[in-house]
């Protein structure tokens, strides 16, 4: 049986090393590549052969959502497992809508990571039992919508960057947008959330545990 070739994309060397040890503890999986930046991940996926991508949501040069968009544009059938510190119920659905095949919190048990990779390699989706239960509860409460649920994928991405303290020029560079475009998105975000300034965005993001 051919081994499952995995690319681990995370900006922290210690995290990548830990993930490598977990993943390669299973004889059916091999780490065929590593990436420390978003651009490096995109380049390696373009030039290499992988069966599953394990992707962090945060990079120093561009956001994980942007990297995910590039991956799916270049190779729509390549399964991506998003592995993040962010709360599962807040980010998993957006990641799945953006093209990810699964989502796992970094605090999950090691065996969950191995199971998720194997499941994605078989062409299936991966949802933890906790997320599946959360989604079932949400279905039982139709019509409940939080203000940030009204944001588009791009608006949500820019909202998180602004709330995290990134200057507009950096956000524009990371997303390959003009400063004017980012400012236009910021104005729409403020309007949709009914807020007046960045300070209110930050307080909202902290209150909803969207940023640390």
Q: How far apart are alpha carbons 206 and 172 in whole angstroms? A: 23
The domain locations on the chain are 4-138, 147-207
Among candidate residues 100, 210, 54, the one with its CA nearest the CA of residue 147 = 210
Q: How far apart are alpha carbons 206 and 200 in whole angstroms? A: 10
Q: Output phi, psi for 50, to 5 deg.
A: -135, 155
Question: What average pLDDT does this structure show over 66-83?
Answer: 91
- Supply the DSSP string of 49-63, one letter for each residue: --SEEEE-SB-SSSB
How far is C-alpha 162 from the geometric centre of its chain's CA atoms?
17
Q: Output phi, psi for 125, to 5 deg.
A: -90, 160
The whole-number pLDDT of residue 134 equals 66
Tokens of 190: 């403020």
- Supply the DSSP string of 174-205, one letter for each residue: HHT--HHHHHHHHHHHHHHHT--SHHHHHHHH
Position of tokens 């499952």? 4
Give the chain's mean pLDDT: 87
Fold agreement between 4-138 and 147-207: no
The whole-number pLDDT of residue 159 equals 92
pLDDT tens, position by position, 13-49: 999 999 999 999 999 999 999 999 999 999 999 888 9
The CATH class, in words, for 147-207 is mainly alpha
pTM over the 0.85 mark: no
Q: What is the fold of 4-138? A: Rossmann fold (3.40.50)
Q: If pLDDT is split at 50, 70 and 90, which confidence band does 135 have?
A: low
Tokens of 7: 């690319």
Cβ-proximal residues to 69 (8 Å cutoff; 6+ apart), any chain:
98, 99
Residue 153's SS3 state is helix
Residue 74's SS3 state is helix
């Amino acid at each position: 049986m051919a081994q499952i070739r995995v690319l681990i994309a995370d900006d922290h060397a210690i995290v990548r090393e830990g993930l490598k040890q977990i993943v390669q503890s299973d004889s059916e999986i091999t780490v065929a590549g590593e990436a420390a930046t978003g651009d490096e991940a995109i380049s390696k996926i373009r030039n290499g052969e992988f069966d599953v991508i394990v992707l962090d949501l945060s990079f120093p040069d561009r956001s994980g959502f942007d990297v995910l968009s590039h991956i799916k544009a270049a190779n729509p059938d390549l399964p991506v497992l998003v592995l993040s510190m962010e709360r599962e119920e807040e980010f998993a659905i957006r990641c799945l809508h953006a093209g990810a095949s699964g989502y796992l919190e970094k605090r999950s048990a090691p065996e969950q990571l191995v199971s998720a990779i194997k499941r994605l390699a078989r062409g299936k989706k991966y949802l933890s039992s906790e997320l599946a239960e959360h989604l079932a509860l949400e279905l039982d409460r139709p019509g409940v919508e939080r203000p940030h649920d009204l944001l588009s994928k791009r608006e949500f991405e820019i909202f998180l960057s602004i709330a995290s303290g990134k200057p507009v020029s950096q956000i524009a560079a990371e997303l390959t947008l003009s400063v004017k475009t980012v400012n236009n998105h910021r104005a729409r975000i403020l309007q949709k959330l009914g807020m007046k300034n960045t300070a209110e965005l930050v307080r909202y993001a902290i209150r909803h545990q969207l940023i640390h």
